[in-house]
Amino acid sequence: MKIDQANLADIPQLCILLDELFSQEAEFTPDYELQGRGLSKILNNEDIGVILVVRESDKVIGMVNILYTISTALGGRVGNLEDFVVLPEYRNSGIGSKLLSYALNFAKKRGCQRITLLTDDDNQDAHRFYLKNGFSRSSMVPFRRNTRNT
């Protein structure tokens, strides 16, 4: 098992992982074309963020994105953790915890002062996982408006 940064050649495998993730999430539907476009934008611009992957031989078995923004409250860079997924057959083996730890260290080295993430409200397994790994529930409530088709 190896953790490193994704590259453009990984996009087909990343889309498979996103398929798995989006099949669990209420607000998203898999769309390889859109997913590939978004992944390419991240991979082609390190100022946007990074995609970290877990590889077993040549197979990508897990991924997580760290997308960067600036917090005026903290006066510096913060990260949003997105698209965190491990293939089902590799779950409950510690791979997710290792990837999360790697991602948090990576973000800290890149100057992130805080990491924020979102989960589905009813995803109790994810809540337990993040609490176990040092996250706390925020009092902030996300609101979303799609502007793509308006």
Contact 87, 99 (CB under 8 A): no
The pLDDT tens digits of the residues spanning 116-136 come to 999 988 889 999 999 999 999
Domains contained in the chain, number: 1
Examine residue 145 and state whether it is found in any structural domain, yes or no.
no
Task: Give domain status of residue 72, yes or no.
Answer: yes
**What's the predicted TM-score (pTM) here?**
0.92
Percent of the chain at pLDDT > 90 equals 80
Looking up residue 119, the CATH number of its domain turns out to be 3.40.630.30
The amino acid sitting at 137 is R
Q: Measured in whole angstroms, how far is the alpha carbon of residue 144 from the centre of its chain?
A: 18
141 lies in some domain: no
Is residue 63 in a domain?
yes
Using one digit for the tens of pLDDT, what is the confidence trace for 70-108? Answer: 999 999 999 999 999 999 999 999 999 999 999 999 999
22 pLDDT more than 90: no
In a domain, 124, yes or no: yes
pLDDT at 32 (0 to 100): 87
Q: Is the dihedral of CA 38, 23, 17, 119 positive or negative?
A: positive
Range of the domain at 31: 2-132
Position 138 in a domain: no
Quick one: pLDDT band at residue 26, thresholds 50, 70, 90?
low
**For residue 25, what pLDDT is reported?**
67
Cross-strand bridge partners of residue 77: 70
Domain-located, residue 123: yes
Calculate mean pLDDT across residues 42-59: 96
